[in-house]
C-alpha cells in the first residue's frame, strides 16, 4: 500500500562536515506489528532505497548501518552538503529537515504493517 514513509517511522537528521546523517527507527507506539515493522525497516532501507526515496542523493555514496538493538538504522549520505555547513549553498545546509522530508515521501508499505 502506498503511504508516507513516516507513517510509523521516526527520523532525525543533521550534518557532519559535508555529509548528511539520518537516523530512522520504528516508533514505540504499542502496535502489535512492532516487531514486523522493525524487520521490514531493517530489510528495506538499503543505499538504493535511500537514493530512490531522496532523489537529490541519487548520485551520492550512501552508507546504511543497521542498529537492530535500537530498532533502526543510521544512514550517512556523503557529500550532500558540499564542503560543510558554512560553505553549503543547499536549501537546508545542515540537513536538519532531511529526516522529515524522508518521512513525507510515499513508499510501498505492506498493508499488514499499517
Partner 1 sequence: MADIRIGNCSGFYGDRLSAMREMLEGGPLDVLTGDYLAELTMLILGRDQLKDPSLGYARTYVRQVEDCLGLALERGVKLVSNAGGLNPAGLAARLAEVATGMGLSPSIAYVDGDDVRSQGYPGALTANAYLGGFGIAAALAGGADVVVTGRVTDASLVVGPAAWWHGWQPTAYDALAGSVVAGHVIECGCQATGGNFSGFADVERSRPLGFPVAEVAVDGSSVITKHPGTGGAVTVDTVTAQLLYEVQGTRYLGPDVTTDLTSIRLAAVGPDRVGVTGVRGFAPPERLKVCVNELGGHRSSVEFVLTGLDIEDKAAWVREQLSPALTASSVTWSLGPLPAADADTEEGASTLLRCTVQDALPDAVGRAFSAAAVELALASYPGFTMTAPPGSGTPFGVYRAEYVDRSAVTHTVHHADGRTEVVR
Stretch that binds partner 1, among 22-30, 39-47, 53-61, 106-114 (CB under 8 A): 22-30
Contacts to partner 1 from residues 24-83, by CB under 8 A: 24-25, 27-28, 63, 65-74, 76, 83
- Residue corresponding to grid cell 533502526: 72
- Which residue of 3, 4, 7, 17 would you call a contact of partner 1, by CB under 8 A? 17
Residue count, binding to partner 1 (CB under 8 A): 41
Shortest Å, Cβ 96 to partner 1? 7
Residue 88 to residue 84: CA distance in whole angstroms = 6
C-alpha cell read off for 51 = 537514493
Strands 106-108 and 72-77 turn out to be unpaired
Amino acid at each position: 500500500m502506498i503511504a508516507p514513509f513516516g507513517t510509523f517511522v521516526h527520523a532525525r537528521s543533521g550534518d557532519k562536515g559535508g555529509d548528511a546523517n539520518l537516523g530512522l527507527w520504528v516508533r514505540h507506539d504499542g502496535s502489535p506489528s512492532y516487531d514486523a515493522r522493525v524487520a521490514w525497516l531493517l530489510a528495506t532501507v538499503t543505499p538504493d532505497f535511500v537514493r530512490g526515496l531522496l532523489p537529490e542523493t541519487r548520485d551520492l555514496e550512501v552508507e546504511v548501518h543497521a542498529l537492530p538493538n535500537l530498532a533502526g538504522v543510521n544512514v550517512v549520505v556523503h557529500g550532500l552538503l558540499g564542503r560543510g555547513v558554512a560553505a553549503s549553498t543547499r536549501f537546508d545546509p545542515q540537513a536538519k529537515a532531511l529526516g522529515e522530508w524522508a518521512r513525507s515521501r510515499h513508499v510501498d508499505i505492506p498493508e499488514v504493517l499499517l
